[in-house]
Amino acid sequence: MSSNAKIVLRKKTNKEGLYPLAIRITKNRRSTYQYIGHYIELEDWDEKNIRVKKSNSNSENLNSLLSQKLSEANKALITLQSEKKDASANQIKKEIYSSANSSTFFELAQEHLDELESAEKLNRLSTDKAWVSFIIKFNKSKQLSFQEIDERFLKKLMLDLKVKYSLSETSIMNILVLIRLLFNRAIKLKIVSRELYPFGSDKIRIRFPETTKIGLNILEIQRIENLKNLSPSETHTRNVWLYSFNFAGMRVTDVLWTKWSDIYDNRLHYRMNKNSKLLSLKIPEKIVQILEFYKDGKRSEQDFVFPELKKANLEDAKDIYNKRKTATKKFNDNLKSIAKKAEINKKITMHIARHSFGNIAGDAIHPLMLQKLYRHSDLKTTLNYQANFIHKDADKALDSVINF
């Protein structure tokens, strides 16, 4: 029986509940899979036409990538079928993808960056590209095998990043996370032996320093709401910030992507940009007032509520990314002056709206409900938003000892 390759959606989900795309290689009714490295929701897969539906924001790029991968696999199969007629599915897979077995660290890093660009994850692309450049500077060459990345190499890298480039502990840990991700990929591809894995409790440990992002309290938010002496730009920034806060700390990317068509039945229905999860929230009265402010600029139901993306080329992911990045910087600059006018000494950014919601939620909202509102896959992530604010039990314990 001849061998064949086909694009499939595997039914085993990752931690986020998304399904992996893969190339299935079959020979004599036995199959093996080569994963593409991208995940989607089940409802975004068109089983009949074997493609990603348009409901997925990255459908065009993903379908293009899938066609490319399938074409590469089929070309390799044609060659192999004439040379190794009795090869098993696993042997065929090994032959097709064996070129990866000699890949260097930076070759695999480039594949990772290319995947991020194809998936239009431009924020992550920008960050990881910067991390890779630091590793190149340290290594002074793009020739680096995974076998060379041992504990000694990583310790010297960490010291160099801290002393020579003055990177923060958090940035250094993020670089190690990227190296670990690529090292794990190299192990799966059999580029390097698992025995050489340099990370673990008895080797290099990745420990992020504790960070404190203090959210605003109710009185501080009320001061911002009641400010009168704001410029038009500051007023717009306040509206966007309060929109984010009142929708449970909605991320600024999702705020700017809000369209009038997302608002119906007195609810906001949207898909989170970060993890593609669907969310539906009741529209609070304070949000109704903000929406009224922008109704005069409404051109159609498909128009954006806020102006930042109205002139963006929606076919160009980089243009969208740049406009969002520029807008966020402008918002954060305006929030500095808003904080000063409101006599608030805390640092306020767009992301602090999210921490402020967690601050005020405190122990009034169960962490599991806050997790649901935030759509976090891991409860630990949610607890980080409340960790700095749940003081009641600790305060009571302290008082029980010292109040005598």
DSSP 77-116: HHHHHHH-TT--HHHHHHHHTGGGGG--HHHHHHHHHHHH
Q: How many CB atoms lie within 10 A of CB 353?
A: 27
CA-based diameter of the chain, in Å? 89
Listed residue (374, 378, 325, 332) closest to 352, CA to CA: 332
**Same domain? 116 vs 188:** yes
Whether 182 and 290 map to the same domain: the answer is no
Q: Could you give the 3-state DSSP secondary structure of residue 315?
A: coil
The domain boundary residue, chosen from 96, 128, 149: 96
- Element of type H or E holding 21: strand 19-27
* Tokens 């969208």 -> residue: 320
Is there a single domain that holds both residue 265 and residue 360? yes
Q: Is residue 45 part of a domain?
A: yes
The answer to the question of residue 403 being in a domain is no
Number of domains, the chain: 3
In this prediction, the residues of the chain whose per-residue pLDDT falls under 70 are 1-2, 15, 83-102, 211-213, 274-276, 362-404
Same domain, 233 and 368: yes
- CATH number for the domain that contains residue 307: 1.10.443.10
Last residue of a domain, one of 67, 96, 125: 96
What is the DSSP pairing of strand 278-282 with strand 30-40?
unpaired
203: burial class by Cβ within 10 Å (0-12, 13-18, 19+)?
Answer: exposed
Residues 120 and 167 in one domain: yes
- One domain for residues 192 and 264: no
Q: What is the pLDDT of residue 7?
A: 93
Ramachandran category for residue 343: left, alpha or beta (phi over 0 → left; psi -120 to 50 → alpha): left
Cβ proximity of 304 and 320 under 8 Å = no
What local confidence, expressed as pLDDT, does residue 197 receive? 94
Q: Is residue 287 part of a domain?
A: yes
Rounded CA-CA distance 346/348 in Å is 6
Domain residue limits at 246: 218-395
As to burial, measured by CB atoms within 10 angstroms (0-12 exposed, 13-18 middle, 19+ buried), residue 244 is: buried
Same domain, 152 and 285: no
What would the two tokens of residue 206 be?
A: 């990745």
Question: What are the tokens at 223?
Answer: 């001061």
Kindly state whether residue 202 falls inside one of the protein's structural domains. Answer: no
Amino acid code (one letter) for 137: K
Domain membership flag for residue 80: yes
- Per-residue pLDDT tens over the stretch 252-268: 999 999 999 999 999 98
Domain membership of residue 278 (yes or no) is yes
Other Cβ atoms closer than 10 A to 61? 17
* Residue of 320, 311, 276, 314 lying closest to 60 (CA atoms): 314
Burial of residue 91 (number of CB atoms within 10 Å: 0-12, 13-18, 19+): middle
SS3 112: helix
- Dihedral (Cα; 353, 355, 361, 362), 10-degree rounding: -150
Q: What is the pLDDT of residues 140-182, one digit of tens each?
A: 888 888 988 999 999 999 999 999 999 999 999 999 999 999 9
Is 10 a domain residue? yes
* pLDDT tens column, 317-338: 899 999 999 999 999 999 999 9
130 and 174 housed in the same domain: yes
- Are 332 and 354 contained in the same domain? yes
| Residues 298 and 348 grouped into a single domain | yes
Confidence at residue 390, expressed as pLDDT on a 0 to 100 scale: 47
Domain C-terminal end among 96, 121, 140: 96
Residue bearing tokens 């918002």? 331
Look at residue 324 and tell me if it is in a domain.
Answer: yes
Residue 349 has phi, psi (to 5 degrees) of -130, 175
Q: How far is CA 80 from CA 28, 93, 96, 134, 191, in A?
A: 15, 10, 8, 40, 22
- Both tokens assigned to 343: 């006599």
- Whether 182 and 35 share a structural domain: no
The verdict on 87 and 119 lying in the same domain is no
- Could you tell me the two tokens for 102? 């000699």
Please give the pLDDT value at position 227. 95
Q: What does DSSP say about strands 278-282 and 4-9: parallel, antiparallel, or unpaired?
A: unpaired
